[in-house]
Amino acid sequence: MYPTDRPRRLRTTPALRRLVSETEVRPRNLVLPVFVAEGLESPKPIASMPGVVQHTRETLRKTAAEAAAAGLGGIMLFGVPAHHDATGTGAVDPDGILNVGLREVREEVGDALPVMADTCLDEFTDHGHCGVLAPDGTVDNDATLEVYADMAVAQADAGAHVVAPSGMMDGQVGRIRSALDAAGHVDTAILAYSAKYASAFYGPFREAVDSQLTGDRRTYQQDPANAREALRETTLDLAEGADMVMVKPAMAYLDVLRSVAEISDVPVAAYQVSGEYAMISAAAERGWIDRDRTILETVTGIRRAGADIVLTYWATELATWLDR
């Protein structure tokens, strides 16, 4: 007696394994998130994210050019202002750091690299929430929508190909779409953070953007226990005109990502967030895991679960490995 089925035959050589590989990661599938900070003279390392920095305007341009040369699918900008206020006025200021960064990156790469903008107030407010506050201290959903609309138009004016509302406000996609169209930005796309969870994995990001938050964002970001809710949120965003949808974080929510991919008729993104980056980096520094293999395996897993697009801080580096 011997096995009649021998799946190992197709694993015998690297060339055979490559031939039958079911999931591919290419540079075009990857988007690089970057931070640009106001007033820096040199890049500022982010301690909890080894290898990631807050960029100066000059190094941001260089990084964008490298991303374009690597064939990435895009670059996502986050702004780190020097000053914060209650309503995040720096987010809508044409001369605010995020809009200046968008303008300069677009000048650098033109249409060779999709330029994406985080459309959220948390980096700009002195309370760290993703919206403006009502008198009772809660986040005022509908008042926030009006600021998001102005913010998205300012980002499109600055050259963003894609705006990415990440605040999880009800109706944000529809309000932004209406504002963009009214301002003549009918070709500016919306990447909706449709299923964004109130996750512990965002910890290092808050250092990266100098977050002013005290408390949490559980009244608007999703409960990690909920999966059906993600499908409801995604369905609403699609109905409001989202051009792409996203699940965030990625690795702890691959089941959600698969479900979203199954119902979406637009491209689906997933964000390998700062905490995921930090865990892999820390384990690799200690020699507990093979860094490069782990990076590729995790990104492949995110793609396999259904992501057309993966936001990862390793995007440019990973792109250089893929043909190897």
Catalytic residue numbers read: 196, 248
274 is in an annotated binding site: yes
What CA–CA distance (Å, rounded) separates 120 from 129?
Answer: 9
Is the separation of the CB atoms in 180 and 188 below 8 Å?
A: yes
313 is in an annotated binding site: yes
- Spell 184-219 as b/e; 16+ CB within 10 A means b: ebeebbbbbbbbbbebebbebbbebbbbeeeeebee
For 12, counting Cβ atoms within 10 Å of its Cβ (0-12 exposed, 13-18 middle, 19+ buried), the class is: exposed
217 is in an annotated binding site: yes
Q: Distance between the two ends of the chain, CA-based, in angstroms?
A: 41
What CA–CA distance (Å, rounded) separates 49 from 304?
Answer: 25
What totals of helices (H) and strands (E) does the chain contain, helices first?
11, 10
Residue 151 structure tokens: 């913010």
Neighbours of 48 (CB within 10 A): 18
What CA–CA distance (Å, rounded) separates 317 from 292?
Answer: 10
178 is in an annotated binding site: no
Which single residue is written with the structure tokens 């760290």?
128
The DSSP secondary-structure symbol of 308 reads S
What CA–CA distance (Å, rounded) separates 258 from 224?
Answer: 16
175 is in an annotated binding site: no
Taking alpha carbons only, the member of 40, 48, 17, 69 closest to residue 277 is: 48
Beta bridge partners of 78: 35
Beta bridge partners of 133: 139
Residue 157 structure tokens: 């004016």
What CA–CA distance (Å, rounded) separates 314 from 74?
Answer: 13
| Binding-site entries | 206, 217, 233, 274, 313
| Binding-site entries for Mg(2+) | 233
| Binding-site entries for 5-aminolevulinate | 206, 217, 274, 313
